[in-house]
Structure 1
């Protein structure tokens, strides 16, 4: 089938390199996934009355309110919680970007897709009003 051994060896080498490339990419993707799952974002309001932590999906998992929040209108505290949550999600996005580009490379399309996915999801979560409540 093969005209000569050199062509057969070259094809086998290319196939081996292709397989190794796929294996390496799969290992880096698994590493990226586990690193991203371990991330959380945290932010504190400028006056240190509100501190928010979000998990790797951007969901609120911890909220700390200083006792001084009792001395301000509830609407101000609510606004601070929302703004600080958005800042914590921005912190998460910065970390996801650093991990994705550090693991896969700045120009890697998969890294960019992961970052873009987080950016779209977090922007949608923080910019869209919850009109149905």
Structure 2
């Protein structure tokens, strides 16, 4: 029989160490949550038509359209807004996963699950962007979204 089981002092030490670990995990989790809630990401398209800012949930909190919008077809403006919003969400997913790694680490299954969930919630599928309608052949470069110019 294991003599350590009957050792009250050893049991108290193990219990105190376990309690300290639990308290540290709770503190790290609170820090992660606070930092994630504060995150905001701004992205602009390379042509300077659109700038979007999103909050920690991926919700649009600011949209800036430059005067170039007046010379650009509405469908190109809307497509550029959506592409820029998708880019901002991908950046938010990256930043959120960095915060998770910095605060709770990546070793535990729970931390990995949180990081994966954040990524799945925010990231856009590249195939969705590729499904956007192609521009008309006579459309000039100025009226094309930045992703179409690639």
Tell me which residue corresponds to 2:80: 80
The one-character-per-residue Cα deviations of 1:13-59 (angstroms, maximum 9, x if unpaired) are: 11111111111100000000000000012111010110011100011
* Contact 1:101-1:108 within 8 A present in 2 as well: no
Distance across 2 between alignment mates of 1:59 and 1:100: 20
The aligned runs of 1:85-104 (5 Å cut-off) are 85-104=85-104
Aligned-residue offset at 1:119: 1.4
Deviations 1:53-77 (A, max 9, x none): 1100011111010011110100000
Aligned length: 127
What is residue 145 of structure 2 aligned with on the other side? none
**Gap runs ≥5 in structure 2:** 129-150
**Structure 1 residue 106 and structure 2 residue 96: aligned?**
no
Higher helix share: 1
Q: Secondary structure at the match of 2:7?
A: helix
Q: Normalised by the size of structure 2, how large is the TM-score?
A: 0.76
- The alpha carbon displacement at 1:120 in A equals 1.5
Q: How far apart are 1:112 and its partner, in Å?
A: 1.8
Tell me: CA distance 1:124–1:43, structure 2 relative to 1, closer, same or farther (3 Å).
Answer: closer
Paired position in structure 2 for 1:44: 44
1:17 corresponds to 2:17 = yes
Which contiguous aligned blocks of 4+ residues in structure 1 show a shift greater than 6 angstroms?
3-6
Structure-2 change in CA distance of 1:5 and 1:85 (3 Å): closer
Is the 2:5–2:11 contact (alpha carbons within 8 Å) kept by the matching residues of 1?
A: no
**Hey, what's the Cα distance between the residues in 2 that align with 1:58 and 1:4?**
52
